[in-house]
Each structure stands twice: as structure tokens, then as C-alpha cells.
A and B are shown apart, each in its own frame.
Chain A
Amino acid sequence: MSQTHLIEAVVEPLRRHPPFDRLPDAALRALAGAARIRHLPAGAVLFEQGARPHDDVYVVRKGAIAVRREVDGASILLDRCDAGAVLGARAHIAGTPYAARAEAEEDALIVALPYARLGPMLEAHPALALFFAAGFAVGLPRTGERIIEATERARRRWALGAEADEDDRAVMPSRSVLTCAGETTVQAAAQAMAARGVGSIIVADAEQRPRGIMTDVDLRARVVAEGLDPARTPVGDVMSSPVATVAEGVTAVELLGRMMRRRIHHFCVTADGTPDTAITGVISDRDVLSSLGTHPTSLMRRIGQAPDAETLRALRARAERLIARYLEQERAMRFVAGVAAAIDDAATRRALSLALEASGPPPVAFCWLALGSEGREERLLRTDQDNALVYVDPPPAQAEAAQAWFLGFGERVTDLIAASGVVLCPGGVMARNPAWCQPLSRWKATFSKWIRTPEPRALMHADIAFDLRPVEGDRALAEALRDHIFAELDAERGFLNFLAANALRNPPPLSFFRQFIVERSGAHESAFDLKSRAMMPLCDAARVLAHAHRLTVYGSTPRRFRALAAAEPERAGLFEEAAVAYEMLMRRRAQSGLAHGDSGRFVPIDELGTLQRRSLRNIFAVIDEVQGVLRSRFRTDFIR
């Protein structure tokens, strides 16, 4: 009983942060009992990019650690970690060198936990494995935005426990298992693998009980590298053995821990889960990971078959819960926004096909366009509709009839979408409105008018319309429209200057924020307008610059910035930061929206943690620089 107070003093701060808040006391104490606490003076390096993983995984106890990644000679700041952040775990789990360099930005105290203790816990405590897997289970790189918010997780409900039902579903094994006998030659086995286009073969005995596995890696490392003759070597000599076996009905979460801990890539499913019964299937790491991420696919399939708006509404509500969970699991923003957009599009397509069933075939080909945030694939939650319709110019005699048909169709579609839970646009920016439902020639004329005679009201529409994205129908119509826009921009160069000046109307509140950071206790009554203060400036700038470069990418502001980074290598660092900053803001806004059941536009200032304040301040610095690019490139001063 006597040796516990000191360990408790080590445990207590750990327990305040995920994933340690999920560990049972005994495990946490065992871990803390083996901890070492180190002091890093400012500037000292915790680990170097490319170095082999140390014996320990690090938790920041106090101070700040900067995580930087060297890419093509440029050093990109991925993250600033403070209290509670876990560093260096990924390298251990993935068995790769450190992907970034960690350096103390200010004096720091670090708790070092031996991975030899933490690793086995991945298997015993699935929540721990899920925590570390959340970022890269879907095969996406973990980006800075994920790590930077890791330290904030403690303040949020980490909804993996009670609500993890969907992750608890059994993984479906693949039933077509390629097997061979141990005496089979490596060459014959490799030929069988090649014929089936698979990377592994299970070695089984006469009763089909698994004895081992030979994979592409074994072929490389144990046959070719060793100089063995594939025509003479039996598979039994080079296979990996024993093979990991599981019983039917095993869940992804159960497998995840074993997979990560022991770097197992294939599991043999047997009748009783031991190697003593016959093989019934195989589960690969890909199956496990995709089953953690498949729900959107199955949801989208069901959306595609929804018989009515009521069903669509229920499915969209489910999708929204899924998005909420992804946000809480800190999945990469690109993935979350991608899923949300895919679901949005699937629902829109279903509404279109339901409307087509009712309206009959269209008189001419058309293309359905998503506009505004939906066009940018940035609408994480159901807000309101912004859409338009462009159709092939009909013969003059049929122009009126065609317009009537498409307006009726537009009304039907937008009503269906509204019934599925996305309210009609209060500003009327929808394909049911004659201004937003036009043949291609009239659309071209509309854009020409906006570009050649920019006035503030038109500019507001232009902001929405310049983010158009084809969702369904004849994409060539959308592309013809875009080509027209680019041609008009070439002819009327002043428009982008005007758009740039418009994009600068919200300068970042740098001074306000500095003061705000000093006055920690003040300003508690105010809320911060995340949308107009931070997101719109970036979004507007990306739109202007993307059009200046005539970039043909559809989609999100981060995607635009990343395309800009490729187009302007000398500013790649800034644009990459802007992309990450925007993703962080999207996440923050969505989380705030979920927490308060609103659009998330206003964030109560007292809800911002120190780190969020600091990261917001950094984001403002990025916005300031991006706006500087606009200011120097476009003659905005003449216009203002």
C-alpha cells in the first residue's frame, strides 16, 4: 500500500488526457511505474526525423514541443504539442523511423513511457489501439492538423465506448482462400499467387489446417535474397509460421490491436479459431481497415436505393452521426470532408433520379451543379441548399418549353432534397429559380456580365457561383462554362483585382488576438466569428488565386491551396500551411456546431483552450501572409 502515492502523482496528470483516460487504473499504474521524466531545455531535440524509434513513447507534461518535417529542403511545422500530447508512438506501431523531428520550443518536461510496456497494452485494450489507429486506419497520412488537436482531446467526450457499435461488427473474411501443401515448390506457389493476383498463399496440411503463410515479402527476403532455387525449395522451408488464426465473427476492433502490435497482415479464419481446425477464410489487414471505414460505402449504397425522401432523411441523419464520430475520432479532415461530400452527392443523385422517374426524360442534356460550400465539398453538416442547373441550348422553338420543364424538375429535386433535411436556400440560389436554371448560352452571358461589370451585389453571387462543381449529368457543360469563365478572365483582367480586394475585406484580427491572449480572463462574454474572421479570408483568397492560375480543380479550399502549392513551388510552404489551417478551422467549426446544434460559425471564446488560442493565432499569421500575397499580386489598393 505504501508505494502508491508517488505513482499516483505520475498517473494523475496522464489520466486527464486520451488515450490514458481509457486505460484501466492497474494498466495505467503499471505504465506510470516504468516512466521516466525528462527535462528538455528550449531548443533540445527529443527525436530526429529519420531516426530509429527510441525505446520510449513520450507524453508532454509541461512546455511545448514543435514537430517539424523536412520535405524537399523545406521545414514544415506540423504541430506544436503541449500538455497531454503523445509523441513518437506512430513510429513504433508502424515500425518505421520517426517521420518528423521533435524539438522543445520552450522548456519542457516529458514523461517517457517504455514502448515495451505500452505495446502489449494495444492488444489488451482495444480503445488504445483505436486511439492510435484513428488517424491512419483509413490509409491516409496523419497530418499536422490531427496531431495538433490531439492535446485538446481531453476536453472532449471521446465517443468510442458506448457508441462504438458500428466498429464492433464482425469483419467478413474472404472465402476464396489460396492454399498449397508444404511440399509445393516455391515456384509453383508463386505461379498460383500470380495467377490469382494475390500477395500471399496459405500453407495447409491434408485436413486444410493452416500451417503457415508465404507472402510476397517472404519471397523477396527468404528466397531471392537468400539465393534459394525457387524450383527446388519447398514452401514449407520459407513460410512464416505459425500463422495467426481467429474464429468466425471476430470484430475489426479486436483484430486491430493484434495487427498493430505484432505487425500481422493476414489472419486465417478457422472453425474454432485455433490452427487445429480447417481454414474457412482469410482476413487481411486491408479487410480490417476497410471494415473500420466501410460504413460510408454501405450508407451510400443504401442512399442510392432509397425509395423516398423520408428514407433519405433517415439515412442522412445516420451519415451525420457518422461524420460526428469521425470528428471525435480525429480522422484526417480530408477523409471526413470527403465522406461528407460523397454522401451529399449520393443523396443529391438519388433525389435527381427520383425526380426523373416522376418528370420523365429531359428534353435536352443537363448538368446539376453544386455551388458555394457544397460545391467546395466543405459542407460537413446539413445547412442549406446552394445549387444550379445548366442545360444544352435547345432549338429556339423549344426554348420556352425546355425552361418550363427544367424549372419544374428543379423544383421537384430541391423539394426532395429539402424533405431529406437540407432546407431551401433563403437567398433563392437553387435550380428552381430561373436565375439559376439556364441553358449554357445564358449562363455564359451571366458570367460575362459578372466579370465585365463587377458590382458588389453581383460579386456576392459570383462568390457562390465561382465555386461550382458538377454533381450529375453532362460534365462537359460544366467544363464549357469554366472554359468560358477563364476566357473572360483573360479578356477582363480587372475582375480578379476586384475579387482580390473583396477577399481582403476581412483582415485577420491580429492585434485583437494578441491582446486577447494577454487578457486571459477577460472577453468571456464574446463569441468569435470563425466563419467570417478566419475561414472566409482563406476561402476567398484560394478562389482568387486558383482563378488567377486558371486551375481546373473542383472542390475544397484545402485542395485549391494544395494545387496552388504545386503551381507555385516557391510559396508551397505557405499554401500547404494555409490548407492545413483551413482544415483545422473546418474541424473546429464542425465540432462547435455539433456541440451547440448550430452552424458552428460562432465559437464562444472561453471554450478555446490555450492551444487552440495559440493555433488560432498561428492561423491568423498564415492568413496575414496569404493576404499579403494577394495585396502584392493584385492592385487592390487602387480599388479600395
Chain B
Amino acid sequence: MGWWSERRARKARAAARAALEGADPRALRYVERPFALDPRSPAERARFVVLDSEATGLDLAADRLLTVAAVAVVDGAVRVADHVELTIDRPTVGAAPIHGLLPRDLAGGTSEAEAMLGLLDHLEDAVLVAHHVAFDGGMIEAALRRIHPALRLWNPRLDTAALARRLELGPLPVQPSRGASFALDALCDRYGVPMSGRHTAAGDALATACLLLVLLARARRQGIVTVGDLLR
């Protein structure tokens, strides 16, 4: 998480580009894309891709992604047309019961590699947003490594849970003592974001995107104005 030095990123990408010689063109396109995100530009000017995923479990190393849904936030609005939903055809491990996924829900899915390359195409140079982005980002990164060991998720990441905590409790990591929950349901409830299609990746991605809109407005009022401020 966080902003990283442009120089270091450039170096890592140059190494990846060399290592990825001959890989899938979509992976190359992703790696070769110049990152245009200026940390001094207004936060709402950035393109955000808000994502939610479901996986077979919570272990970044052992578990696998099942579905990924993502929708873009551009110019301060959720752009429904700019969305992607990926179902990964790998029903070998039982899905967590909370998601209520049956094997047949996953029929017609694509391979993990295919899904990830599609996702990279959609991501481009956007800020990747998720509720507890460490998990979603980590799962995606693990999947990318399985495609090619040099392939990384370059996009800057923003965690809506952490952003809400920062806006409510201040920039320093404070223990949220008196029970204020930062779960997606609780935050949506607190910030007046309606939920529909709850507990599907698509429904949660949409709710998270709407939550992001509210949080961005609140952040602006608290002086978090630029992309750099936001990702700090």
C-alpha cells in the first residue's frame, strides 16, 4: 500500500519487461503502459477501479480466486459501463459457505490466467480500490505470479476500510476502541450507502464504489485533496 517512488517503480517495471519477453501481449501491454497518475492532481481526477473478489479461503498462498467484480470510478462518478466480472473456472476447492456459491455457479468461467489478463486490461493505470485491499490485491498478485514470476500488480492501492478509519480516527493508527466497526456493511450503513446484491462480488464492488464516492467527498472536506494526499 502507499505511494512509492517513481524511480523504484520504473526500475522494477524495466526488469519485469525484460523477464516477460514473449509473454501474453496483454501482460506486456500492462507492464509497458506509462503510469500517468500525477500525485499532485486532484484526487477525483484519478481513475479508480473498485474491486471485490471471492476466494476459496483467506490464505493468500493456498487459496484461489473464484470471482472478481470491478467497476470504475471516474470524475467522481461510478461508471457502470466500465465494469468487469470474471468467474474463474476452478471449482476444485469448496467455496466458503457465506458466499453461497455452488459449483454450477462457476460453470462457464475462464481460466485463472485468462481472468487475470482480462483484469489487467481493465485496470490499466487506475488506483486499485477494495475493502481490505491487502486481501484482494494479495490474491491477484499471487495469481499474477502463477502466470509469470516477474508479473506484479503495479497499480497503487487504496483501502476503503483504512481510508474510513483515517477519516474518522485521524492519520495515526489508533485502536478503534469503542466498537466502531469498519466492516463494509457497517460503513455503508453509517455513510448512507444502500446495498443491493449483497454478498456477491458484483454487489459488494458496487457498494464499495459508492462508499468510495462518499469517502472521497469527506476526505476533501478534511483537506485530503490530491492523489498524493489520498495514497499517503
Contact = CB atoms under 8 A, between A and B. Distances in A.
Nearest to A106: B192
Contacts of A112: 77
B78 A37 contact: yes
B194 A9 contact: no
B98 interface: no
Interface in A281-305: none
B77 A6 contact: no
A157 B114 CA distance: 47
A1 interface: yes
B84 A3 contact: yes
B87 interface: yes
Interface stretch (B1-9, B58-66, B129-137, B195-203): B195-203
A3 B83 contact: yes
B217 A3 contact: no
B229 to A, nearest CB: 18
B79 interface: yes
A3 B192 contact: no
A32 B197 CA distance: 15
Nearest to B195: A9
A6 B206 contact: yes
Nearest to B70: A6
B135 to A, nearest CB: 20
Given A36-B79, A109-B193, A8 B202 contact: yes
A576 to B, nearest CB: 32
B76 A38 contact: yes
Given A34-B80, A62-B192, A107-B192, A9 B197 contact: yes
Contact of B194 (A34, A38, A62, A106): A62
A2 B86 contact: yes
B69 interface: yes
B174 interface: no
Given A2-B87, A12-B197, A41 B217 contact: yes
B126 interface: no
Contacts of A83: 194
A39 B214 contact: yes
Nearest to A39: B213
Interface of B is mostly: mixed
Contacts of B86: 2
Interface string A385-417: 000000000000000000000000000000000
A35 interface: yes
Given A7-B80, A38-B213, A109-B210, A2 B85 contact: yes
A4 interface: yes
B197 A8 contact: yes
B196 A12 contact: yes
B203 A5 contact: yes
A36 B108 contact: no
A34 B214 CA distance: 21
Contacts of A12: 196-197
Nearest to A8: B197
Given A1-B108, A6-B69, A37-B77, A109 B206 contact: no
Contacts of A36: 77-80
Interface string A373-384: 000000000000
Interface of B: 69, 71, 76-81, 83-87, 108-109, 191-194, 196-197, 200-203, 205-206, 209-210, 213-214, 216-217, 221
Given A36-B78, A37-B210, 16 more contacts: A5-B69, A5-B85, A5-B201, A6-B71, A6-B85, A6-B203, A9-B196, A9-B206, A12-B196, A34-B80, A34-B81, A36-B79, A38-B76, A38-B77, A39-B216, A107-B192
17 contacts: A3-B84, A3-B85, A4-B85, A5-B69, A5-B197, A5-B203, A6-B197, A6-B202, A8-B197, A10-B206, A13-B194, A33-B81, A37-B77, A39-B76, A83-B194, A107-B191, A109-B214
